[in-house]
Structure 1
Amino acid sequence: MACEIDPVKAEGFAGSLVEMINQGAMSIMISIGHQTGLFDVMAGMEPSTSKEIADQSGLHERYVREWLNAMVVGKIVFVDDSSTYYHLPMEHAMFLSRKFPGDNIALFAQYIPVIAGVEQKVIHCFKNGGGIPYSEYVRFHEVMAEDSGQTIIGALFDHILTLIPGITQRLEKGISVLDVGCGSGRALIQLGERFPNSVFLGIDLCKEPIEKARKSTEEKGLQNVFFHQADLTSFRPDVEFDLITAFDAIHDQARPDLVLKTIYDCLKDNGVFLMQDIDASEKVYNNLDHPFGRLLYSISTMHCTSVSLAQGGMGLGTMWGTERANRMMRQAGFNNVTENRLPHDPMNCYFVVSKNCTNTQASLIELEEIDD
Structure 2
Amino acid sequence: MSAAAMAEPTALDLFMGKMLADVGAAMAGATVIMGDRLGLYRAMDKAGPVDAAGLARLTGTTERLVAEWLAAQATSGYVQFDPASGLFSLSPEQAMVFADEDSPVFMAGGYGVIASAWLDEPRIAEGYRSGRGLGWHERDPCLFCGTERFFRPSYRHNLVQSWLPALDGVAARLEAGASVADIGCGHGASTLIMARAYPKSRFTGFDYHPASVATAREQAAREGLSDRVNFEVGAAQQVPAQGFDPACCFDCLHDMGDPKGAAASLHGALKPDGTLMVVEPMARDRLEDNMNPVRRVFYAASAMICTPASLNQPGRAGLGAQAGPGRLSNILREGGFRTVRVAAETPFNLVLEARP
Tell me the secondary structure at the aligned position of residue 268 of structure 2: helix
1:47 matches 2:22: no
How large is the Cα RMSD of the aligned pairs? 2.3
Deviations 1:296-340 (A, max 9, x none): 111111111111112242222211222210111111121222213
Structure 1 residue aligned with 2:24, among 17, 22, 25? 22
Corresponding residue for residue 242 of structure 1: 245
CA distance in 2, matches of 1:100, 1:237: 34
Q: TM-score, normalised by structure 1?
A: 0.86
Contact 2:163–2:344 (CA under 8 A) maintained in structure 1: no
1:182 matches 2:193: no
Query: How far 1:211 sits from its partner (Å)?
Result: 1.0
CA distance in 2, matches of 1:325, 1:136: 26
1:41-120 to 2 correspondences below 5 Å: 41-43=43-45, 45-81=47-83, 84-98=86-100, 101-120=103-122
1:1-372 to 2 correspondences below 5 Å: 4-43=6-45, 45-81=47-83, 84-98=86-100, 101-134=103-136, 135-219=138-222, 220=224, 222-233=226-237, 235-289=238-292, 291-312=293-314, 313-342=316-345, 345-355=346-356
Q: CA 1:352 to 1:142, structure 2 compared with 1: closer, same or farther past 3 Å?
A: same
Please identify, of 214-223 and 316-325, the stretch whose mean Cα deviation from structure 2 is larger. Answer: 214-223
Stretches of structure 2 that go unaligned for 5 or more consecutive residues are none
Q: Percent identity?
A: 25
Contact 2:177–2:200 (CA under 8 A) maintained in structure 1: yes
Query: How far 1:347 sits from its partner (Å)?
Result: 0.9
Please identify, of 41-50 and 241-250, the stretch whose mean Cα deviation from structure 2 is larger. Answer: 41-50
Q: How many residues align?
A: 351
CA distance in 1, matches of 2:344, 2:90: 32
CA distance in 1, matches of 2:323, 2:164: 24
Residue 156 of structure 1 aligns with an amino acid whose one-letter code is L
Deviations 1:340-371 (A, max 9, x none): 334xx42111112222xxxxxxxxxxxxxxxx
Query: How far 1:182 sits from its partner (Å)?
Result: 1.1
Query: How far 1:223 sits from its partner (Å)?
Result: 2.1
Residue 306 of structure 1 aligns with an amino acid whose one-letter code is P
Query: How far 1:221 sits from its partner (Å)?
Result: 5.2
CA distance in 2, matches of 1:15, 1:193: 47
Contact 2:276–2:355 (CA under 8 A) maintained in structure 1: yes
Residue 348 of structure 2 aligns with an amino acid whose one-letter code is M
Deviations 1:138-169 (A, max 9, x none): 21111222223211134332222211243333
Query: How far 1:39 sits from its partner (Å)?
Result: 1.7
Q: TM-score, normalised by structure 2?
A: 0.90
Query: How far 1:62 sits from its partner (Å)?
Result: 3.0
CA distance in 2, matches of 1:303, 1:9: 32
Contact 2:98–2:106 (CA under 8 A) maintained in structure 1: yes
CA distance in 2, matches of 1:79, 1:214: 43
Q: CA 1:105 to 1:124, structure 2 compared with 1: closer, same or farther past 3 Å?
A: same
Query: How far 1:246 sits from its partner (Å)?
Result: 0.9
Deviations 1:89-134 (A, max 9, x none): 3343233221661122333333221211111112222333211122
Tell me the secondary structure at the aligned position of residue 328 of structure 2: helix
Q: CA 1:53 to 1:294, structure 2 compared with 1: closer, same or farther past 3 Å?
A: same
